[in-house]
Amino acid sequence: MIDRLDVVFAKFREAEVNLLRELQRKRQEFYYEVRKGRVHFTEAARAQQKNFLKRLARFLRDSNVAVLLTTPIIWFCLFPVVFLDLVITIYQTICFPVYGIPKVRRSDFILFDRQRLAYLNLIEKLNCQYCAYANGVFAYTTEIAARTEQYWCPIKHALRMKGVHSRYQHFFDYGDAEGYRRGIEQVRRDFSDLDGKP
């Protein structure tokens, strides 16, 4: 009998494929392509984008004072993000080979490409780089944690979760004691679906 969760995960993977198709369509709509990991706009697209550039003086003048005053707090958060990046990278470098877990490629999660957008001013570009880095580190950390969880405790939760990570579909059902004991060694070592993936 096919597990209903397997059906849901299959639909989720299908949705991911559809998302990639839509992103490809957007590339054509906004006149850019990705070659060798770099975004390239047509000259016409760059010229069009520059029409929407908000100069720094106007950007600062139009900014909410409360937003400007809280900016240092946001940037202060960069320190723990960098520390997390360092610690989680060291962790997987040392531990994943011991556990037989494929390493997560950091470069698949931390992407810097928004600086190529001609309609962003310097402050907006800096903010975008910060957000790309922070959210990339969190996604990178989540994938490392997901692979770790698959090794140490691949059991689904009974309580409702807001979201699930990439490895969750491989976990045992909550309460399936027999399946867990029978298959734990296989599940904790089965990352075959990652061949060629991050």
Query: Could you read off the pLDDT of 87-101 as tens digits, one per residue?
Result: 999 999 999 999 999
What SS3 string covers the chain? CCCHHHHHHHHHHHHHHHHHHHHHHHHHHCCEEEECCEEEECHHHHHHHHCCCCCHHHHHHHCCHHHHHHHHHHHHCHHHHHHHHHHHHHHHHHHHHHHCCCCCCHHHCCCCCHHHCCCCCHHHHHHHHHHHHHHHHHHHHHHHHHHHHHHHCCECCCCCCCCCCCCHHHCECCCCHHHHHHHHHHHHHCCHHHCCCC
- Helical pair 122-152 and 78-99, crossing angle rounded to 10 deg: 30
Structure tokens at 52: 């929407």
What pLDDT does residue 196 have?
A: 61
Q: How far, in Å, CA of 131 to CA of 69, rounded? A: 18
pLDDT on residue 92 = 98
Residue 115, pLDDT score? 86
Q: Dihedral, CA atoms, 30, 35, 40, 41, nearest 10 degrees?
A: -30
Please indicate, yes or no, whether the overall pTM of this predicted structure exceeds 0.85.
Answer: no
Q: Per-residue pLDDT averaged across 142-148, rounded?
A: 97
Task: Quote the pLDDT of residue 8.
Answer: 77
pLDDT in tens, 47-73: 788 888 888 888 888 888 998 899 999
Average of per-residue pLDDT values in the chain: 88
43-47, 70-74, 191-195 — which is least confidently predicted? 43-47
